[in-house]
Amino acid sequence: MTTDPAGPLAGSGTIKALPKVSLRAVNPNIRTSYAHLYSFTIEHQFAHNLVFGVDYSGSYGEKLYDIANVNRPGEGNVLLGDDPNTLGLTRLVTKQYSSINFRSDNGKSHYNAVVGRVNLRNIANSGVTLNANYTYSHALDDLSDTFSSSGNQFNLGYLDPFNPKVDYGNAYFDIRHRVTMEGAWDIPFAKNTHGVARQILHGWTVAPIATFETGSPFSIYDCTNALTVCPYAVNAAGTPGLPRSHSGPLVPTGSPDDFTYIPFQDSNGTPLIDSSYANPLVGISDFGPFPAGMNARNVFRGPGFWKVDLGIYKSFQVTERYKLTFRSEFYNLPNHANLRIQGGDADTATGDTLGFIDAFKDGRRTVQLAIRLEF
């Protein structure tokens, strides 16, 4: 980086070579992305106030927009046979460009979900309505968003730009199990009162919502021998490899709110990963053929998530024309701190543990009060 006004042309002499620049290129034959959507529903009413239903929905995405650096250092050696001993690490296009970030349509996705739901209305004439939903779903893709903007994404685009199948796995938004329960109780207390007492005591509604879901998937990388992209961590031979998720009590690391989630070594200090891989021709791990023990993208699962919200509402009929509505909403009522993966720790080259921090976006209680005049 230079502060000289002449930028890369600064310096002495009468001849100055223009430096290589990165290029953003779009496939001139890029196709329009599309998706096939399909669904069906079975619903049955068992009683006048009890409904049970099962829903299925799925989608198949094709020609999804993606990005890939198709001009990495070393690709000229691996794909064209350039001798690294005499030419060094060469690119496919060696003259005027460094990285070529190519926009195309090689992405694909699959999604399937089954939802079971129960609805109970006005149970025993108590004014209580309950809804419960359970969702089992599975989302797979080779790139969850065009520019790889996930907090746990060490690479731009694909690990192998010429073989997107290497990255095909769980999507970053894949939540396998999710349960939601919600209710509303129109409290019948003081319904036979009149005047001021009725205005104050009657007509309150309490509406809780509880959400429980399994953790989001994430990848563990190994940047030990990487130059521009990091491959996924390779399980060490003779070991069970890295556990897919955490089990047992959390172990503090000594830093505030930081715990060991997936250890990179066992209790005896034996490494669970093998960081020795490098392409034999260029000596870096950016290129395959990758070892058979390499973990897949997003094969690991983060900690689960749950929260309980509560709403309390009341309407006051001021006159026939004017009505005053009071709303109070409590988000994350128990003040429960959900834990999340610290994406920067998901590199086995940085240490022997994978930490996560408990400052999740819903890790604090939020109270919202409002009064609305309707006329």
Q: How long, in residues, is the chain? A: 375
Residues 6 or more apart in contact with residue 190 via CB below 8 angstroms: 197, 198, 201, 202
Cα separations in angstroms, 156 against 101, 130, 147, 150, 366: 9, 45, 6, 10, 36
Mean pLDDT (the chain) is 89
The model's confidence at residue 184, banded by pLDDT at 50, 70 and 90, is very high
pLDDT tens-digit series, residues 34-52? 999 999 999 999 999 999 9
- C-alpha span between 82 and 318 (Å, rounded): 84
| pLDDT(375) > 90 | no
pLDDT of residue 52: 97
CA 35, 38, 39 angle in degrees (round to 5)? 145
Question: b/e map of 56-77 (b: 16 or more CB within 10 Å)?
Answer: ebbeebebbbbbbbbbbbbbbb
Average pLDDT over residues 247-265: 79
HEC readout, 300-369? EECCCEEEEEEEEEEEEECCCCCEEEEEEEEECCCCCCCCEECHHHCEHHHCCEEEEECCCCCCCCEEEE
Cα separations in angstroms, 40 against 37, 56, 178, 197: 11, 5, 20, 50
CA dihedral sign of residues 2, 4, 8, 10: negative
- C-alpha span between 99 and 79 (Å, rounded): 16
* 78's tokens: 């691996």
Residues 6 or more apart in contact with residue 151 via CB below 8 angstroms: 341, 343
* Beta strands per DSSP E along the chain: 21-26, 34-47, 50-69, 97-120, 128-141, 169-170, 177-186, 204-213, 217-218, 251-252, 258-263, 300-301, 305-317, 323-331, 340-341, 353-357, 366-374
- 166 phi/psi in degrees, rounded to 5: -60, -30
Please tell me the pTM assigned to this model.
0.87
pLDDT of residue 359: 42
| pLDDT(1) > 60 | no
The model's confidence at residue 198, banded by pLDDT at 50, 70 and 90, is confident
Residues 6 or more apart in contact with residue 319 via CB below 8 angstroms: none
pLDDT tens-digit series, residues 98-131? 999 999 999 999 999 999 999 999 888 888 999 9
Highest mean pLDDT among 7-11, 18-22, 204-208, 263-267: 204-208
pLDDT of residue 358: 46
Average pLDDT over residues 202-217: 93
**Rg (alpha carbons) of the chain, rounded to whole number:** 28
More confident residue, 107 or 192: 107
The model's confidence at residue 246, banded by pLDDT at 50, 70 and 90, is confident
Query: Scanning the structure block, which residue is given the tokens 């409290």?
Result: 187
The model's confidence at residue 220, banded by pLDDT at 50, 70 and 90, is very high
Helix (H) or strand (E) holding 94: none
- C-alpha span between 365 and 355 (Å, rounded): 24
| pLDDT(165) > 70 | yes
For residue 140, the one-letter residue type is: L
Are the C-beta atoms of residues 127 and 185 closer than 8 Å to each other?
yes
Count CA within 13 A, CB hemisphere, residue 129: 10
Beta bridge partners of 49: none
| pLDDT(357) > 70 | no
| pLDDT(64) > 90 | yes
Q: How far is CA 147 from the centre of its chain?
A: 14
pLDDT tens-digit series, residues 296-346? 999 999 999 999 999 999 988 888 888 888 999 999 999 988 888 888 888
Average pLDDT over residues 153-176: 95
